[in-house]
Structure 1
């Protein structure tokens, strides 16, 4: 009941985000039901139906990532005073976020079912009734169990992702105190920079004359996953190059229809590598901006990118992976347009549009979350007399540096991913 009241009592922007989550899950549920329709209409071609169902995991993952990003911007996950009064501690915040996300996703699944039945011609007296009878296999009866499982999958996965995204995180860090003792620092996710929030003594031999605790500043380095991401990108490109050795070039339809699993696996490894490398690349951009003797604009831009690398890097990495895949697919489609035209059905266009929308919206949501966490610091800078043009210049500089660095990497990976298939 509390989760329902939080859903109803949100601000217009919060309600809009939840509505977008419902729309995204509605499209995913509709694609899953369309894959079920193909399996019902072609029982002898189970392999193609399985490939269609597996490809639905891509828009499902994009919608789940967007739902998790929206859950992190919930008002209850940042301002907990009212929830503490109501008896809801930090350990139950992620449960409320999961329930709110599940309710939004259930609304989307219900909308998908209504639209699906309407296009199959089972809801009469409405416009466009039965407009997709052949595409959705209207002559075949729907299995109730399979339909309920497919409709319940997006809400369950989205709710679990929201719970993981908003769970309280305690990262222990040990620092030496004067006199031979040590202290343990617990860094929580509720702080603006993920830094130290609480300190407890880890030894009883602390120096009584000196400070009892030493504060550990700063989050864990976001560059920790950069070597792994780089290794996965290189391994994915090498795997694709090795698997694409054939007497003639591979068309796009062969790659996407699982006729060349090694190539598709290389693309997946490369995409995962870009996602893992996103936070580290964002932090490196911040370090490059702050190198040497920077001015106020460069210093502010670099420090913000380093501090927000963990929050911004992962959605930007996903966006780069999708853009690189789209660039490689576009290169292959331009070489053989007659082969790629067979893949551009209405369901393919719908799924592609959903993926592009979700990854873009996730990056924008992460940027809005980062801006909300920096609002107090920006207000303090304005009170100290910092011109607003400095803040605007820092934002513009960050956007330009990220666009140049990540855009160049995306273009290079997309070209390298398409090159072995075109030779």
Structure 2
């Protein structure tokens, strides 16, 4: 009830972020229900239904990551004197943010169920189309226990992940938290330096290992359309080695991105920098861990999308038929939207964490135009560095499978 009362007086931008979480939960819930409908309508294709369920892990992970990022920027999760006086300390605020996240995800799951039932024809009497009826298993009774179980996966995981991310962390003896950091980020400087110094070599090694594994597994892949990494609709011929290689590539990009972000900041601030380059470089170095990880996820998603587009373009040119089902576009768009929204949300979080520093710069005479140019320079540098890397990784990952 307290979470609902706080939601009534929140800023429209906060409500927009919660709405994004609800829509992401609705998309994942709809994909899970479609998997259930396919399993009910095609009991002879048990392996295909299981593979569809495994593919749902990708949008599920993206939605949970977005929910955690939004929970970290939620004003209700920050320490406030009024809430502390009634006993809502750091632990209570973390639980409150987790409950708010779970409520938003639950609303999205309810919307997903409504859309699923309408398309099946359970509410309107007639399925949307014959193809949709076959995909969603129209006419088959839904299990009473299976539907709530699938719909509560996203709220439970998102709420638990938000509570873990916002839990109060113990400070080392003698180490004081930085005043400009929010409570959820206290205690991060040591781990940030460790991640930046050790993450980049491990990320490069894992990316190279993933490309090598995908190349080795792709040698035994048939050249027909059925063997070109089929997504929902034709999943029974996917090479497990290719999936493992792409997973290693994604993990490697996530681990290497904080180091790349920190390196970009050092390059900007090197030599004899002016105020613009110095400010941009220092901010990138300070926010390398917090901003680098979501950027790594976005690079991994973009690389996978580019590689899949190249592979499916080859299959389309050779056969004239697309080797994936109708829900693949929904899942891919959902993952890309969640990854992009997470990066934007984390960027807003870092801006809020630097509010004291920004106010100090304005007091000593820095113009708002200078701060805007510094933000634009940071964005341009990161795009100029990460976009070619994502394209190169996608080309190397798709090269063995495109022949």
TM-score (norm 1): 0.86
| 1:361 equivalent in structure 2 | 341
CA contact (8 A) 1:333 1:340 kept: no
Bigger drift between 384-393 and 284-293 goes to 384-393
The C-alpha deviation readout for 1:101-151, integer Å capped at 9, x for no partner, is: 111111111111111111111113899699933321111111111111111
Quick check: which one's helix share is greater? 2
CA contact (8 A) 1:120 1:133 kept: yes
Unpaired runs of 5+ residues, structure 1, are 173-182, 198-215
Q: Give the one of 240, 251, 259 matched to 1:261.
A: 240
Alignment RMSD = 2.6
1:246 aligns with 2:220: yes
CA contact (8 A) 2:171 2:187 kept: no
| 1:325 equivalent in structure 2 | 304
| 2:109 equivalent in structure 1 | 109
Query: How do 1:292-311 residues align onto structure 2 when only pairs under 5 Å count?
Result: 292-311=271-290
Q: Give the one of 313, 330, 339 matched to 1:334.
A: 313
Offset, 1:274: 0.7
> 2:41 and 2:57 mapped to 1: Cα distance?
21
**Across the two proteins, how many residue pairs are aligned to each other?**
395
| 1:281 equivalent in structure 2 | 260
Q: Give the one of 232, 257, 262 matched to 2:206.
A: 232
Bigger drift between 303-312 and 117-126 goes to 117-126
Query: How do 1:82-231 residues align onto structure 2 when only pairs under 5 Å count?
Result: 82-124=82-124, 132-172=132-172, 184-187=174-177, 191=181, 220-223=193-196, 224-231=198-205
CA contact (8 A) 1:250 1:421 kept: no
Query: How do 1:36-115 residues align onto structure 2 when only pairs under 5 Å count?
Result: 36-115=36-115
Bigger drift between 85-94 and 44-53 goes to 85-94
Offset, 1:251: 4.5
The C-alpha deviation readout for 1:374-419, integer Å capped at 9, x for no partner, is: 2222222122111333212211211111011111211111111011
**Does the residue aligned with 1:17 lie in a helix, a strand or coil?**
helix
**Does the residue aligned with 1:86 lie in a helix, a strand or coil?**
coil
**Does the residue aligned with 2:107 lie in a helix, a strand or coil?**
helix
User: After TM superposition, where is structure 1 displaced by more than 6 Å over at least 4 residues in a row?
Assistant: none
Query: How do 1:338-417 residues align onto structure 2 when only pairs under 5 Å count?
Result: 341-417=321-397
> 2:200 and 2:361 mapped to 1: Cα distance?
32
CA contact (8 A) 2:180 2:353 kept: no
Question: CA 1:370–1:331 in 2, change beyond 3 Å: closer, same or farther?
Answer: same
> 1:160 and 1:188 mapped to 2: Cα distance?
26
Structure 1 or 2, whichever has the larger Rg, is 1
> 2:224 and 2:366 mapped to 1: Cα distance?
57
Question: CA 1:126–1:12 in 2, change beyond 3 Å: closer, same or farther?
Answer: farther
> 2:169 and 2:262 mapped to 1: Cα distance?
21
Offset, 1:70: 0.6
CA contact (8 A) 2:3 2:99 kept: yes
Of structures 1 and 2, the one scoring higher in RCO (CA 8 A, sep 6+) is 2
> 2:223 and 2:182 mapped to 1: Cα distance?
51
**Does the residue aligned with 2:175 lie in a helix, a strand or coil?**
strand
CA contact (8 A) 2:221 2:239 kept: no
> 2:265 and 2:322 mapped to 1: Cα distance?
44
Quick check: which one's strand share is greater? 1
**Does the residue aligned with 2:152 lie in a helix, a strand or coil?**
helix
| 1:212 equivalent in structure 2 | none
TM-score (norm 2): 0.90
> 2:223 and 2:126 mapped to 1: Cα distance?
48
Offset, 1:192: 5.6
CA contact (8 A) 1:251 1:332 kept: no
> 1:53 and 1:373 mapped to 2: Cα distance?
38
Question: CA 1:220–1:140 in 2, change beyond 3 Å: closer, same or farther?
Answer: same
